[in-house]
Amino acid sequence: MELYNKLKLNMEKYSGCTNFLNNIYGLDENEEYEAIILAPSWKPEKIFKNFNVKIELVKEGPYYNGYVIDVENKKYGYIQTSAGAPSMVDCCLTLGNAKCNKIIFVGAVGALKEDMRLGDIITPSKSIAGDGASLYLQENIDSNNFQSFVYPKEQVKENAMNIAKNIGIEMKEKTVYCTDSIFCEYLHLNEILELGSEAIEMETAAFYRCMEIINKDGIAILCVSDNSATENHLVGRSDEDTKKFHESRENLIPKLILSL
């Protein structure tokens, strides 16, 4: 946690704030939540719409919200962030002093290979840091770290894979590329594929690097929203494809969250 302590010390010095998790997201760092869920763009009402759940909005920000969720006799912290690695970095680093050790990232992912269908659940075997924010998660900013590989904790990943299997959910391991721009990624798709990428999204490299820095057990659960290899496009998606995606987000993802 040496790097985290340096980051935190300077943030405290220049921001005048010490309890970032509470002041920004309204969550109690001393609360032993079942887990803290991080979700770019997705509100908890979308994920838990088919469950008997109590959702309390504890902090409303300009582009983020903090919630406390009670479901199946379990209490979760839930942070809805905006999309992109910069927001994910700033969010994750507020968790450094939290008593809760289990952090669950949930989000959408685009498939780059034909062996994935819309609505499939995947988790990164590794993430490729094609984002700029990850460059700041080192002692020094060095462009040589661009597109570096970031890995989840093996034990945490294997535990999640086993739990998914035991509850009847197929969760596939894939190499995930992290981009800063959906609009621009297609021009560079061949370069991205040459790195061994099988899927693409924006945050998991930064998420897993932050988990290393703050020494938390983090797992990313991703739902396939589109597939460029099979021409199931993100924009102009068919009603059938949209239905598959929503069914997985509203049934499989919460079922897995509650089992972890």
Domain assignment of residue 222, given as a range: 2-259
pLDDT of residue 7: 95
pTM for the whole structure: 0.95
The per-residue pLDDT for 11 is 93
DSSP letters, 78-147, are EEEE-SSHHHHHHHHGGGTT-S--EEEEEEEEEE-STT--TT-EEEEEEEEE-SSGGGGSSSS--GGGTT
What is the reported pLDDT for 244? 85
Give the amino acid at 108: A
CATH code, domain with 57: 3.40.50.1580
Burial of 136 (0-12, 13-18, 19+ CB in 10 A): middle
Q: How far is Cα 110 from Cα 231, in angstroms, rounded to an integer?
A: 11
Burial 27-58 (b: 16+ CB within 10 A, else e): bbbeeebbbbbbbbebebeebbeeeebeeeee
What residue has token string 């005048």?
16
Number of domains observed in the structure of the chain: 1
Per-residue pLDDT of the chain (260 residues; tens, 9 = 90+): 799 999 999 999 999 888 999 999 999 999 999 999 999 989 999 999 999 999 999 999 999 999 999 999 999 999 999 999 999 999 999 999 999 999 999 999 999 999 999 999 999 999 999 999 999 999 999 999 999 999 999 999 999 999 999 999 999 999 999 999 999 999 999 999 999 999 999 999 999 999 999 999 999 999 999 999 988 777 766 777 788 888 999 999 999 999 99
Q: Is 231 helix (H, G, I), strand (E, B) or coil?
A: coil
